[in-house]
Amino acid sequence: MRRVTPAVIGTLEQMAFCTACGAQLVDGARFCSSCGAAVTQTQAPAAAPPSVQQATPPPPAAQSAPVEDYSGFFGRRRRDRDFREHVEQALADDILSESEEKELFAWAAQQGIKDEDWRKHFGDLLDRMLIASVNDGRLPDVTNQAHIMLKAGERVHLLVNASLMKEVTLREFRGGSRGVSIPIVKGVRFRTGSFRGKSVVVGTQLQVADQGALYMTSQRVVFAGQRKTVELPYAKLANLNVFTDGVSFNMTNRQTVPLFKVPSGQVVAAIVNAAAQRAV
C-alpha cells in the first residue's frame, strides 16, 4: 500500500466523487459521466483570510499632572497642607537644589499661593528654604538694595531689620528702720529712730540700644543704626551664638559681644557662616 503523505492528503481532499456510483467527477460537472446521476453541488468552505497582525495601538499621549481641585470650604486648608508636604519632601536632606526650588514656586503659583500667603502662612518655610539653598552653595544677592558704602567687589547677601541690644543691670533699694515708739495719748504714739538701706542687684534685662538694618555681605557684617554703626569683619570673627530671634558675634578685637535681635537667627547664622567660609 502506498503511504499517503500530507501532500497527497491535501490532493485527495480537493477531489469530488459521485454519491451514486463513487466515480470521480470532473471539476464543475453537473452530472456523473458514469451513471448520469445529478451531482449535488456543495460549496467549498471559504478560505480563511490571511492572518493580519493587529497593529499595536500607540501609547497614550503624555499628559500633564492633573491640577488638584482645592475648591470648597476646606480647599485652602488642604492646599496649604499639601504644599507643606511638598516642601518637607524637598527639604528632607536639608539641601534645596535650584530645580527643586523652581518646582515648589511653580506649584505654589499654579495653586494660587500669593506673596501675601507666603508672608502670613509660610514664613517659616521661606526661612528653611533659604537655609537649604545656602547649604546647596547658592547665596542670595541683594546688592541693589544696599544703602551703605561697599568695598570693591563686595556683595550683599542678606539685609534684615535689627535691633542692637544691651544688657542693663536691675537694682533695688533694700533696708530697715530702728527706733522706739512712745505712747502719748490713746491712739497716738511718738516714734523715734533711723532708716538704713542699700542698693542691691536683683537681675539683668536686655534693652534696645539702637535700631537699624543688619547687612551680611561677602566680607563683613555691618549694622547701620540710627545712632551708631558697627562693623564686624569675617577675618576677625571667632564665634557665633545663635538664638531663635537673635545672634551675637564674638570678635577677636572686641571686649564686648554685640548682640542683635533679628527676625530669624538661624537664617543670619547660615548666611554669615557660608559667606565667611568663602571669604577665607
Q: What is the CATH number of the domain that holds 149?
A: 2.30.29.30
Most confident of 38-52, 88-102, 108-122, 161-175: 88-102
**What value does the mean pLDDT take over residues 49-74?**
52
Q: How far apart are CA 260 and CA 263, in angstroms?
A: 10
Examine the domain organization and report whether 165 and 272 are in the same domain. Answer: yes
Residue 166 sits in the same domain as residue 243: yes
Reply yes or no on whether the pLDDT at 245 is more than 80.
Answer: yes
Are 158 and 270 contained in the same domain?
yes
Q: Considering the domain boundaries, does residue 58 fall inside one?
A: no
Q: What range defines the domain where residue 229 resides?
A: 143-279
Q: Output the pLDDT for position 38.
A: 63
Query: Is the pLDDT score of 164 beyond 50?
Result: yes
The H or E element containing residue 175 is strand 156-185
Going by DSSP bridges, is the β-strand pair 156-185/188-217 parallel, antiparallel, or unpaired?
A: antiparallel
Q: How does pLDDT run across 123-154, given as a tens digit for each residue?
A: 888 999 999 999 999 999 999 999 999 999 99
Domain count, the chain: 3
Are 173 and 88 found together in one domain? no
DSSP character for 213? E
Stretch 173-202: mean pLDDT, rounded? Answer: 70
The answer on 193 and 274 residing in a single domain is: yes
Question: What is the pTM (predicted TM-score) of this model?
Answer: 0.64
The highest-confidence range among 89-98, 109-118, 119-128, by mean pLDDT, is 89-98
120 and 189 housed in the same domain: no
Residues 1 and 129 in one domain: no
Question: What confidence tens digit (pLDDT) does each residue in 29-55 have?
Answer: 666 766 666 666 554 444 444 443 444
Quote the percentage of the chain above a pLDDT of 90: 45
Q: Which residues pair with 260 in a beta bridge?
A: 164, 247
Residues 242 and 114 in one domain: no
115, 152: one domain: no
Whether 35 is covered by a domain: the verdict is: yes
